[in-house]
Amino acid sequence: MIKASLKWLLIGVLIMLPVGCQQKGNDFHTADTNQERLHINQPQKTFRVKKVVTNPPIESLLPKLDSKRFINEQIWLDSFKKDLAYEPEGEIIATILPHHDVACDYLTSFYQTASKTKTEEPELILLISPNHEGDGPRFQIGAFDFITHSGMIYSDGDSINTLVEHPLIHEGITSVFEKEHGIGIHMNYIHHYFKEAKVIACIIGETRTHEGIEEVAEQLIASIQNKKVLLIASIDFSHYLTLEEANEKDAYTRQLILSSDTQAMSSLSNDYIDSPSSYGLLITLLQKLEEDYTCTIINHGNTATISGNLEMKETTSYFQVSYTRK
Give residue-wise pLDDT tens across range 113-166: 999 998 789 999 999 999 999 999 999 999 999 999 999 999 999 999 999 999
43 belongs to a structural domain = no
- Residue 289 belongs to some domain of the structure: yes
Q: Is the confidence at residue 270, as pLDDT, over 80?
A: yes
| Predicted pLDDT at 279 | 98
Domain range holding 102? Answer: 64-325
The domain that holds 70 is classified in CATH as 3.40.830.10
> Has residue 21 got a pLDDT over 70?
no
41 found inside a domain: no
Predicted confidence (pLDDT) per residue in 214-246, tens digit: 999 999 999 988 899 999 999 999 999 999 999
| 8 domain residue, yes or no | no
Predicted local confidence at residue 200, as pLDDT: 98
Per-residue pLDDT reduced to its tens digit, 276-315: 999 999 999 999 999 999 999 999 999 999 999 999 999 9
Q: At what angle do helices 104-117 and 181-193 cross, to 10 degrees?
A: 40
pLDDT at position 120 is 85
The count of structural domains within the chain is: 1
Confidence (pLDDT) at 31: 33
Higher pLDDT, 4 or 247: 247
Q: What is the dihedral of CA 34, 39, 41, 43, to 10 degrees?
A: 170
Whether the pLDDT of residue 29 is over 60: the answer is no
For residue 264, tell me if it sits in a domain.
yes
- Asked if residue 30 has pLDDT above 50, the reply is no
Mean per-residue pLDDT over the chain, rounded: 86
Which secondary structure element, helix H or strand E, spans residue 27, and what is its range? strand 27-30
Please tell me the predicted confidence (pLDDT) of residue 118.
80
Sign (positive or negative) of CA dihedral 66, 69, 71, 75: positive
Say what percent of the chain tops pLDDT 90: 79
- Residue 270 Cα to chain centre, angstroms: 30
pTM over the 0.75 mark: yes
CA 241 vs. chain centroid, Å, equals: 35
pLDDT value for 254: 98
Residue 42 in any domain: the answer is: no
Could you tell me the pLDDT band of residue 60, with boundaries at 50, 70 and 90?
A: confident
CA distances from 67 to 73, 112, 113, 129, 156 (A): 11, 20, 23, 14, 17
**Residue whose C-alpha is closest to residue 271's, from 302, 310, 317, 309:** 317
